[in-house]
Structure 1
Amino acid sequence: MNRRLFLKKAPVAATGGAMMLNGLSIQAMAQHSPLQSLAASSANDRVLVIIQLHGGNDGLNTLIPINQYARYYDLRPNIAIADKGRRAAVLLDSTLPDEQQIALHPDMYGMKELYDQGKMAIVQSVAYDNMNLSHFRSRDIWFMGGDYDEYKDSGWIGRYLDQLFPDYPDSYPNEGMPDPLGIEVGNSVSLGFHRDNGIPTSIAINNPSQFYNLINSVGVDPPESVANTFYGHELQWILDIEQKSNQYAGRLRELYEKGSNSPGVQYPERYPLSAPASVVRNGLAPQLQMIARLLSGGIQTKIFLARIGGFDTHASQVEAYDASMGVHSAKLYHIAEAMKAFQEDLKFLGLENRVMTVTMSEFGRRAKSNGSYGTDHGTAAPMFVFGRNVKPGIIGTNPDLNDLSRNNIKHQYDYRQVFGSLVQDWMQADSATMERTNFSEYVEPDKKITLVGDPVTSVDAVQFRQARYYLKPCSPNPAAGLTQVQYRINSREWVQLEVLDVTGNLVKQLVDQEQSAGEYTQTLDVSDWKIGTYIVKIKTTGWQETTKLIVTQ
Structure 2
Amino acid sequence: MKRRKFIQTSALVATPLLFNKIPVLASSQLESSNLQTLANAAINCGKILVIVQMSGGNDGLNTVFPRDKWTELSNARPNILIDESEVLALNNNPTTGLHPSMVEMQELYNLGELMIVQGVSYPNPSYSHFRATDIWFTGSQSNETLDTGWIGRALDSIYPNYPEAYPNSDMRDPLAVQIGSTLPFSLQGPNINMGYSAPDPNDLLNVINETTDPAPNTDYGLELTFLRLMKDQSNAYKETIQTAYNVPQEQTTEYPDNKLAAQLKIVARLINGGLQTPIYIVNHHKSFDTHENQIMESDRKLGRQPENLSILSGAIGAFQADLKQMGKEDRVTGMTFSEFGRRIKSNDSLGTDHGSSAPVIFFGSSLNTGVANVIGTDHPVSGMIGSSPDLPQNAAVNQQVPMQFDFRQLYATIMKDWLCMTDEQSSSVLGSSFETLPIFKNGSFNPPVNNDFILLFPNPIVNNQINVAFKKFINTEIEVTIHSIAGKLIYAEKVFVLGDTLNISPKTILAKGTYILEIKYNIALLQKKFLV
Identical columns (%): 32
2:267 is matched with 291
Select the residue among 136, 152, 165 that pairs with 1:158.
152
Q: What is the rounded CA distance, in whole Å, between the counterparts of 2:193 and 2:226 in structure 1?
A: 9
Q: Compute the displacement of 1:520 (Å).
A: 6.5
The residue identity in structure 1 corresponding to 2:46 is: D
Could you tell me which residue of structure 1 aligns to residue 384 of structure 2? 394
Task: For residue 147 of structure 1, give the secondary structure of its aligned residue in structure 2.
Answer: coil
Q: Deviations over 1:431-455 (max 9, x none)?
A: 331132116421xxxx321211035
TM-aligned CA distance change 1:134 to 1:486, over 3 Å: farther
The letter for the 2-side match of 1:435 is: S
- State how far apart, in whole Å, the 1-side matches of 2:316 and 2:490 are: 45
Q: Equivalent residue of 2:84, what SS? A: coil
Contact 1:317 1:327 in 2 (8 A): yes
In the TM superposition, residue 429 of structure 1 has moved relative to its aligned partner by 0.4
Q: 1:117 to 1:132 in 2, by over 3 A?
A: same
Report the Cα offset of residue 328 of structure 1: 1.1
Per-residue CA deviation, residues 343-394 of structure 1 (Å, 9 max, x unaligned), is 1211121211211111111111111112221111111110011121111221
Measure how far apart 1:339 and its partner are. 1.4
Judge conservation of contact 1:95–1:468 (CA < 8 Å) in 2.
no
Classify 1:132/1:464 alpha carbon distance in 2 versus 1 (closer, same or farther; 3 Å). Answer: farther
Structure 1 position 224, deviation (Å): 2.1
Query: After the TM superposition, which residues 75-224 of structure 1 pair with which residues of structure 2 at under 5 Å, given as runs?
Result: 75-84=76-85, 88-95=86-93, 101-159=95-153, 165=159, 167-196=161-190, 198-203=191-196, 224=215
**Correspondence for 2:427:** 435
Indicate the residue corresponding to 2:440 in structure 1. Answer: 452
2:300 counterpart of 1:323: yes
Partner of 1:248: 237
Structure 1 counterpart of 2:276, one-letter code: Q
Q: Map 1:448-487; keep pairs closer than 5 Å.
A: 448-454=436-442, 456-457=444-445, 459=447, 463=470, 473-474=480-481
In 2, are the aligned partners of 1:124 and 1:382 still within 8 Å (CA)?
A: yes
CA distance in 1, matches of 2:350, 2:214: 56
Q: Which residue of 2 aligns with 1:65?
A: 66
Mapped partners of 2:138, 2:479: distance in 1: 50
1:8-23 equivalences in 2 (<5 Å): 14-15=14-15, 20-23=18-21
What runs of 5+ residues in structure 1 fail to find an aligned partner? 206-210, 270-281, 492-516, 525-544, 549-553
Q: Distance in 2 between matches of 1:458 and 1:226?
A: 62
Q: Distance in 1 between matches of 2:241 and 2:65?
A: 42
Deviations 1:405-442 (A, max 9, x none): 82221211111000110101100102331132116421
- What is the CA–CA distance in structure 2 between the aligned matches of 1:135 and 1:236, rounded to whole Å? 39
* Stretches of structure 2 lacking an aligned partner (at least 5 in a row): 205-211, 370-382, 448-452, 455-468, 509-521, 526-532
Structure 1 residues 425 and 465, CA gap change in structure 2 (3 angstroms): closer
**Secondary structure in structure 1 of the residue aligned to 2:311:** helix
Rounded to whole Å, the distance in 2 between the matches of 1:65 and 1:95 is 10
Q: Is 1:261–1:345's contact at 8 Å kept on the other side of the alignment?
A: no
- TM-score, normalised to structure 1, is 0.73
Give the whole-Å Cα distance in 2 for the aligned partners of 1:430 and 1:457: 21
- Aligned equivalents of 2:340 and 2:66: distance in 1? 19
Look up the match of 1:266.
254
Q: Distance in 2 between matches of 1:223 and 1:134?
A: 48
Query: Does the 8 Å contact 1:212/1:249 carry over to 2?
Result: no
Matches of 2:315 and 2:425, distance apart in 1: 32
State the distance in 1 between where 2:333 and 2:156 align.
21
| Alpha-carbon distance, 1:168 to partner | 3.2
Given residue 253 of structure 1, which amino acid in structure 2 is its aligned partner?
A: Q
- The amino acid of 1:157's aligned partner reads I
Measure the CA separation in 1 of the matches of 2:189 and 2:349: 42
Paired position in structure 2 for 1:421: 413
- State the alpha-carbon separation in 1 of the partners of residues 356 and 159 from structure 2: 35
Please give the TM-score of this superposition, normalised by the length of structure 2: 0.75
State the 1:104 CA deviation: 0.4
Aligned length: 463
Amino acid corresponding to residue 411 of structure 1 in structure 2: M
Find the counterpart in structure 2 of residue 512 from structure 1: none
The answer to whether the 8 A contact 1:353-1:389 is kept is yes
User: Which region of structure 1 is more displaced relative to structure 2, 109-118 or 57-66?
Assistant: 109-118
Provide, for residues 108-145 of structure 1, a one-character-per-residue CA deviation record: whole Å limited to 9, x for no partner: 12112111211121110111111111112111111111
Which range moves more in the overlay, 247-256 or 66-75?
247-256
- Is 1:308 paired with 2:284? yes
**Residue pairs, 1:493-504, within 5 angstroms:** none
Q: How does 1:230-245 map to 2 (within 5 A)?
A: 241-245=230-234
Q: Distance in 2 between matches of 1:412 and 1:237?
A: 48
Counterpart residue type for residue 291 of structure 1: V
Q: Cα distance 1:153–1:470, how it changes in 2: closer, same or farther (>3 A)?
A: farther
Q: Does 1:342 find its partner at 2:342?
A: no
Whichever residue aligns with residue 423 of structure 1, its letter is: M
1:55 deviation in Å? Answer: 1.1
Q: C-alpha separation between the residues in 1 aligned to 2:271 and 2:237?
A: 16
* Structure 1 residue identity aligned to 2:234: S
1:501-512 correspondence to structure 2 within 5 Å: none
Distance in 2 separating the partners of 1:2 and 1:377? 39
